Chain A
Amino acid sequence: MPLETPVDPSGKPITDVPNATIRFAGDSGDGMQLTGVQFTNSSAIFGNDVSTMPDFPAEIRAPAGTVYGVSGFQLQFSSSDIYTPGDEVDTLVAMNPAALKVNLSDLRPGGIIIANEDGFTPQNLKLAGYEENPLTDGSLDKYRVHPIPMTQASLRAVEELGVIGKDAARCKNFFALGVVCWLYGRPLTPILTFIQNKFAKNETIREANTKVLKAGFYLGETQELFDRSYRVPKAKLPPGTYREIHGNEAIALGLVAASELSNKSLFYGSYPITPASDILHELAKHKAFGVQTFQAEDEIAAICAALGASFGGAIGMTASAGPGIALKSEAMGLAVMMELPLIVVNVQRGGPSTGLPTKVEQADLMQVMYGRNGECPIPVLAPRSAADCFDMAIMATRIALRYMTPVVILSDGFIANSAEPWLIPSVSDMEPIKVEHPQEPNGEDDEFLPYLRDENLSRPWALPGTPKLMHRLGGLEKKDVTGAVNYEPANHQKMVNMRQAKVNKIAEFVPEQTIYNETDEAADVLLIGWGGTYGAIREANRLLIEMGHKVSNIHIRYIHPFPRNLGEILERYRGKHIIVPELNNGQLLRLIRAEYLVNARGLNKVQGKPFMVSEIVEFVDNLLTKEKKNA
């Protein structure tokens, strides 16, 4: 329960709350993403745990004022560990009627609406489909509505600087930011520093944004609009140096780190696609680390060039979303056949076809597992969060180089674009990635045998240019050991089995599956998740325990092969409830059922949105309550 502590310079009371969820919403040109990111930064530096979720339209600049042009940014900050950007919104900032309309259903009853009154013009109301102004017609009575003429206030704040018209009006997002910073007692310093750096070359804009930000803050303090402010106490986090990181950024940095750890150069072939393009943008900045980025003519060229680079001895890498992965699938098969290392990232989005390019979905698991011709096994790793992308990118590289195989990293649009505090790892603690290239023939009579395997069933990676090791790779079936083209039935069977056995062997290398919240014996319910649903499932698990239920959960990061102890865990839950929440129609569910013959059930959602914690909690609670009644 909130605790009143009346100390604010304005004399208004401050209410302590354990966490808060805020959503900034406006036109896609209103700067809502920037506003959200700055608020996040300020909260993280203040000492809260933070989780964010941007939500932007597929259109770049949809007509102003329309509902399909609304861009949003949601974040939750908390005094304890949090895993999600929040279910229900406590405070909604709406810059126009469309933003209000699109987001109102997520605001909790009694929640705060901070509206830019100046954006509620007759034209904008009409565009959003309102007949009356909702700010004045009483339809928002169950919320606490604060209309503020932000555009006018911004214009007044910058008048003396000579900034007028559109330039002045464009500052209004900083006004909104200032108001919310006051409301939640956020420090302005990090945002002021950002403004200093961002507009270092334009003094007028720098001053204008600074003034508007402060004007917003002081408005909260001095005017009678708000009767109180809120404070989310600092969270207790493990010691160390932190930064914020997005999933796509973390994948890029992970690969740069893997390149350094293995002393192999990184070649990144890519074709722009939402939501994977930021990986290209990030890697293109890091040429000083020897990174080569290649913006190819299409998705196929991107992966083929990466594979060519791998043949030459580099770490070849490509990334895309589902539609691009579909195009790359033939080349992924070639990589399997040639047994060359290759990193393939799929940042999933809503499908099928072009689907929902900017929304989240987990429906490409079967695609990366089986979406190729022939028996074509590829390891699949699924990071669970933005920060985890860094570790998984390094692990993917370790596997690719150790086992001479393509590896898929299965991320999603939520992980890619959400930010979280990241305890920065120390480079000196990272284990180097050992790579050996043969220098001498490995067969009799100076013969080089490119498919002679080591204890990992991996074949040698001979670098072109090395004398006496000339060999030819290709997509035709290979003869065991020699790698010569071969059509013999028994050899094909052997090679098909060998390629699968090699991938299966990776289970010996990757860590065992950890289980959360299991006490002495198996709980009544086991929740199984993968990928970006980690936060929602962990939090749901915590709440279910608080409600008195016996629930544990596992989050599978290694999907192919499954962790070596997964069967053992599932065996303990035979006869109990095994629930697999997924943002698809049951893909991991099918893999689990097929592999382990357990009676797992799905909790499925395919709406382009992440799980709300409450959806999982209610599902499990209903299940157990019904069971008790029947008993």
Chain B
Amino acid sequence: MSATESPKYTVKDFASDQDVRWCPGCGDYSVLAAVKKVLVNLGIAPEQYAFISGIGCSSRFPYYMNTYGMHSIHGRALAVATGFKVAPPDMQTVVITGDGDALSIGGNHTIHALRRNVDFTVLLFNNEIYGLTKGQYSPTSPIGKKTKSSPYGSLDQPLNPLAIALAAEASFVARTVDMHPKHLQETIERAMRHKGSSFVEIYQNCNIFNDGAMAHAQDRKVRADNVVEIKHGEPMVYGKELNKGLMRKGRDVIPVTIGENGVTMDDIVRHDEHAPVGIHAQLARLKYPAFPEPIGVIRAVERPTYNDLVNDQVADAIEARGGRPDLQQLLNGNSTWEVNEQGETIGR
């Protein structure tokens, strides 16, 4: 699956015959386009993919892909995908979910699938709103958010998807933005090439019920000052002039301007995807407007995948028995007795 080979498949090969029915202007369109381009780059046949989703606007995604797919039930996509990935055949599996689907009704499955490190990619479309049910606040909506179900403002502390993924020991954690197509495509491609659970939070605009909620990260005019595009091994700089950066101060990570107060480029933290969770957790907690928000791959580490471990355990059990055991022997168990033609028990 090298990207340097000439593409075996085109974007059209991955498009289903269904009309796309998202609202015009929805951020989901750009994610759909990016995913198809990534699949072209990966060069794997359409029948080798399965897209599994829960319920919500974004969860219609599988219908638009000419691959295997399942539009399951609310919150359960990761659970369905876990069984699907563990049992044969070994398919390229992508989970499509949203902030309500993966963090509210399905929060439990998100934590547990990530800790197990099932080898699939989770694309979490975060628009901070319930769109399909027409505009209630979601687990990622900010405090005070006024919606149909919170006319006086939401009282709930929002969840931080990246912090949860890191706490669950996800082996790949990233964030990207729907209106930043290049970044979006690169991030998804890296996620799909990662072996293990890869968790990607995608800032996605709901132009009907929550338009502009993430404009700070989406709007080309301002985003350079509001997001830090982090890259492994490089200093975490940002700003139109790339003159701002993140510096360590004690346990915290703070934004600084290079050249002010004696700060030089050497003071800026270099990103290490493989570092301990500590620094990654600090990065995940940086929240606009108090801080610039990191986008890109926050964490990428290797650890055994759950599906491999399950299948290895089965293979080891078979090997330990010198091949598949005899079913009759299993049914007989350890302790049997005989009854003869006369109906008499004749002992073991």
Chain B residues within 8 Å of chain A by Cβ, number: 66
**Cβ-defined partner of B317 (8 Å) among A288, A428, A470, A485:** A288
What's the least CB distance linking B243 to chain A, in Å? 46
Q: Interface size for chain A: under 10, 10 to 19, 20 to 34, or 35 or more residues?
A: 35 or more
Nearest residue in A to B65 (C-beta to C-beta)? Answer: A472
Name which of B18, B310, B342, B345 has the most chain A CB atoms within 10 A of its CB.
B345
What's the least CB distance linking B341 to chain A, in Å? 5
What's the least CB distance linking A214 to chain B, in Å? 20
Asked if B335 contacts A244 (CB within 8 A), the reply is yes
Between-chain CB contacts (< 8 Å), 27 pairs: A44-B337, A45-B345, A235-B343, A238-B343, A243-B332, A243-B336, A256-B330, A257-B331, A288-B325, A289-B325, A289-B330, A296-B79, A296-B112, A304-B83, A305-B86, A308-B52, A308-B70, A308-B82, A308-B85, A311-B68, A311-B84, A314-B87, A314-B88, A338-B70, A464-B68, A464-B91, A467-B47
Asked if B89 contacts A313 (CB within 8 A), the reply is yes
Which residues of the other chain, B, contact A44 by a CB distance below 8 angstroms? 337
Within 8 A of A (CB), among B282-306: none
Asked if B336 contacts A307 (CB within 8 A), the reply is no
Nearest residue in A to B310 (C-beta to C-beta)? Answer: A292
Taken together as a complex, chains A and B put the C-alpha atoms of A355 and B50 apart, in Å, by: 41
Which residues of the other chain, A, contact B47 by a CB distance below 8 angstroms? 464-470
Taken together as a complex, chains A and B put the C-alpha atoms of A236 and B63 apart, in Å, by: 63
Asked if B89 contacts A239 (CB within 8 A), the reply is no
Taken together as a complex, chains A and B put the C-alpha atoms of A465 and B48 apart, in Å, by: 5
Which residues of the other chain, B, contact A526 by a CB distance below 8 angstroms? none
Interface residues of B (CB under 8 A from A): 16, 18, 45-48, 50, 52, 55, 62-63, 65-73, 76, 79-89, 91, 108-109, 111-112, 310-311, 313-314, 317-318, 320-321, 324-325, 327-328, 330-333, 335-345, 347-348
Asked if A239 contacts B343 (CB within 8 A), the reply is yes
**Cβ-defined partner of A465 (8 Å) among B55, B65, B89:** B89
What's the least CB distance linking A367 to chain B, in Å? 19
Asked if B79 contacts A241 (CB within 8 A), the reply is no
Which residues of the other chain, A, contact B83 by a CB distance below 8 angstroms? 267, 269, 294, 304-309, 312, 316
Within 8 A of B (CB), among A45-66: 45-47
Which residues of the other chain, A, contact B81 by a CB distance below 8 angstroms? 308
Nearest residue in B to A428 (C-beta to C-beta)? Answer: B328
Interface window among A16-24, A473-481, A488-496 = A473-481
Asked if A236 contacts B344 (CB within 8 A), the reply is yes
**Cβ-defined partner of A47 (8 Å) among B63, B73, B109, B345:** B345
**Cβ-defined partner of A267 (8 Å) among B72, B86, B343, B348:** B86
Name which of B18, B45, B72, B340 has the most chain A CB atoms within 10 A of its CB.
B72
Which residues of the other chain, A, contact B314 by a CB distance below 8 angstroms? 287-288, 290-292
Given A47-B344, A237-B339, verify A300-B79 contact (CB < 8 Å): yes
Asked if A304 contacts B76 (CB within 8 A), the reply is yes
What's the least CB distance linking A372 to chain B, in Å? 12
Interface window among A86-94, A419-427, A615-623 = A419-427
What's the least CB distance linking A110 to chain B, in Å? 30
Given A331-B76, A463-B89, verify A256-B344 contact (CB < 8 Å): no
Which residues of the other chain, A, contact B82 by a CB distance below 8 angstroms? 294, 301, 304-305, 308
Taken together as a complex, chains A and B put the C-alpha atoms of A475 and B71 apart, in Å, by: 7
Query: Is A232 interfacial (CB 8 A cutoff)?
Result: no
Taken together as a complex, chains A and B put the C-alpha atoms of A599 and B63 apart, in Å, by: 51
Taken together as a complex, chains A and B put the C-alpha atoms of A287 and B318 apart, in Å, by: 7
Asked if B80 contacts A305 (CB within 8 A), the reply is yes
Nearest residue in A to B47 (C-beta to C-beta)? Answer: A467
**Cβ-defined partner of B109 (8 Å) among A244, A265, A297:** A297
